[in-house]
Chain A
């Protein structure tokens, strides 16, 4: 069992980063909005950014230590930290082929690491791309090359910065599966940055919610979702719209769920009948319905009559919370200029629709 422990401080202008985190042999997801300090944290661990003070330790090895700004310090250069870093937008070397990219860190090995690079490409199922340049590959293919390159020198730590951003769904899911199996196979300490809750759920064993340069909460993914420590953590993970439901039917036409008495339909996705699964819908995908107008096909299912609990403007959108007949609360977010003809006041009835194609079944996870 390896352990990476991070306890660092850094101020950048008006922004103060103060992160304390321990990552074991697992996938820890750093989750939070952009600008929260997630990337700076990764860069500090990799040695690309120097914290003002603190300590970064990997097993017995000290990457960084400095008790106070200006004090004595240990600061291992990035090249000696021996960790794998998958950059946002991949950062493949455009002048090198896929195989040369993967072999970049293997120069000292016999044959320039060509054999090992070949193995890695093989295990990522991209041997056929070996001689292609990055510009000749799709985003998903580049991501695989970047992952193979980061793992080439057999690091103990793998850092990933938004690895699934801008990737189509099928490719994303495959990569997520690959990442999980790689982690357990190679016994890696993985720290993965994302701002997407679905990605966090799909790959993470544990979740660290980062906001404003601080770690708000750390815990098992479903734990953080179900029991956010405070309102801010709850808002960050959008937790109000994660609920537990039982699968009634699952087929090619879709999935039917029982959400504590309400029958909810979702698009076809992986589900097992009888299983209790967490279901998630983004507040933007919950719609308020006009009571007397015809509705689009996509909004004809999952219509429920609720009661407005609260509504308040936030920036350019409005957040509305409503009680549903099953006693649960749902959050709706819509642009501030819409629904002006409706009286959406506390205590008033409201017609709510959960977009059928926006309901996501999150994997029911066995305890880690």
Chain B
């Protein structure tokens, strides 16, 4: 049971983290560099899962992914109660951490350096990958680690859209809840220790990246 929960967590977290990094970078760049109508509103919307109760986020996700939601009605994709739904929930709650961190570090890159790259023949894509991203790397790495750690720890919203099906959608945090319910403290203790260690190491890594 612990093995399958670990596997589910790895699968869900890896998928969510990749999505967090890709989408978070794009949104971070947009928010840091572009001026457009509704920018503040977009930023607030992205950050919302950070402050909303997990059940509220989960309920929104159900509306989006479940019966009557656009994904099912228009695209006939039904992901509710699958690991993909768990990954999506983890993505949504981890994203704001990545966006905030990426935005701040990209905003800190001197636009003159980007202009210098343009005069040296770089395309906009080249400017991003050769100048902006390397110079913003600390914030980007920190954001990815924090977002990933948050995705790993996702519980409430995941429970609502993916359930807690052992062997399929039951990730480590869900198994801990389940184990405590069953008074299986051996499993609970072990997993709590693992989760704490991962969280601690993530924070330590973020600090290391930030200060070096």
Residues of A within 8 A of B (CB): 43, 46-48, 77-85, 87, 89, 91, 93-95, 104-105, 149-150, 152-153
Q: Evaluate contact between B119 and A84: CB separation under 8 angstroms.
A: yes
Against A, the Cβ 8 Å flags (1 = close, 0 = not) of B117-161 are 111111100000011001100000000000000000000000000
Closest to B119 in A: A85
Stretch from B36-44, B70-78, B108-116, B168-176 contacting the other chain: B108-116
CB contacts (< 8 Å) of A93 on chain B: these are: 113, 116-117, 131, 135
In the assembled complex, the Cα of A78 lies from the Cα of B121 at a distance in Å of: 7
Expressed in whole angstroms, the Cα–Cα distance for A150 and B117 within the complex equals 10
Within 8 A of A (CB), among B43-70: none
Partner among B113, B117, B120, B123 whose Cβ is within 8 Å of the Cβ of A153? B120
B110: contacting residue among A77, A91, A149, A152, CB under 8 A: A91
What residue of chain B has the Cβ atom nearest to residue A105's Cβ?
B120
Q: In the complex, which of the residues A84, A89, A91, A149 has the most CB atoms of chain B within 10 Å of its own CB atom?
A: A91
* Inter-chain CB contacts under 8 Å: number: 56
Q: Which A residues touch B121, using CB under 8 A?
A: 79-80, 82, 105, 153
List residues of chain A with CB within 8 A of the CB of B112: 87, 89, 91
Minimum C-beta distance from B73 to chain A (A): 42
Shortest 4 CB-CB distances between A and B: which pairs? A105-B120, A78-B118, A85-B119, A91-B116
Q: Which residue of B lies closest to A83 (CB)?
A: B119
B113 to chain A: closest residue by CB: A91
Given contacts A93-B131, A94-B135, A95-B134, whether A87 and B123 have CB atoms under 8 Å apart is no
Interface residues of B (CB under 8 A from A): 110, 112-113, 115-123, 130-131, 134-135
CB of A73 to closest CB in B, whole Å = 18
From known contacts A95-B134, A95-B135, infer whether A48 and B113 are also in contact, taking CB-CB under 8 Å: no
Query: Cβ of A78 and Cβ of B134 under 8 Å apart?
Result: no
The listed residue (A78, A89, A95) touching B119 by CB distance below 8 A is: A78
**Complex Cα distance A100/B122, Å?**
14
Contact between chains at B118 and A47 (CB < 8 Å)? yes
Whether B119 and A48, one on each chain, are in contact in the complex, defined by CB atoms closer than 8 angstroms, is yes
Q: Is the beta-carbon distance between B119 and A46 smaller than 8 angstroms?
A: yes
Can you add 7 more A-B contacts, CB < 8 Å, to A79-B118, A94-B135, A104-B122? A47-B118, A78-B118, A80-B121, A81-B119, A91-B115, A150-B119, A153-B121
Is B118 within 8 A of A149, CB to CB?
no
Residues of the B chain whose Cβ atoms lie less than 8 Å from the Cβ of A78: 115, 118-119
17 contacts between A and B (CB under 8 A): A46-B115, A48-B115, A48-B118, A48-B119, A78-B115, A79-B119, A79-B123, A81-B119, A82-B121, A84-B119, A87-B115, A87-B116, A95-B134, A104-B117, A105-B121, A150-B119, A153-B121
Shortest distance from the beta carbon of B15 to any chain A beta carbon, whole Å? 30
Q: Which chain B residue lies CB-closest to A94?
A: B135
Q: Once bound together, how far apart are the Cα atoms of A48 and B115, in whole Å?
A: 7
Please, which residue of chain A has its CB at the minimum distance from the CB of B118?
A78
Instruction: Name which residue of chain A comes closest to B122, CB basis.
Output: A79
- B115 contact set on A, CB distance < 8 A: 43, 46, 48, 78, 85, 87, 91
**Closest chain B residue, CB of each to CB of A155:** B119
B-chain residues with CB within 8 Å of residue A95 when the two chains form the complex = 134-135
Q: Return A113 CB to nearest CB of chain B, in Å.
A: 11
* A-side contacts of B116, CB under 8 Å: 85, 87, 91, 93
CA distance A152 to B122 in the complex (A): 14
B119 neighbours in A (Cβ, 8 Å): 46-48, 78-79, 81, 83-85, 150
B135 partner residues in chain A, CB cutoff 8 A: 93-95
Q: Which residues from A are CB-within-8-Å of B118?
A: 47-48, 77-79
Is A149 a contact of B120 with CB atoms below 8 Å? Answer: yes
Distance in Å: Cβ of B209 to nearest Cβ of chain A: 15
Q: How many Å from the CB of A203 to the closest CB on chain B?
A: 21
Question: How distant is the Cα of A85 from the Cα of B115 in the complex, in angstroms?
Answer: 10
User: Which of B115, B117, B119, B135 gathers the greatest number of chain A CB atoms within 10 Å?
Assistant: B119
**A104 to chain B: closest CB distance in Å?**
5
Q: What residue of chain A has the Cβ atom nearest to residue B117's Cβ?
A: A104
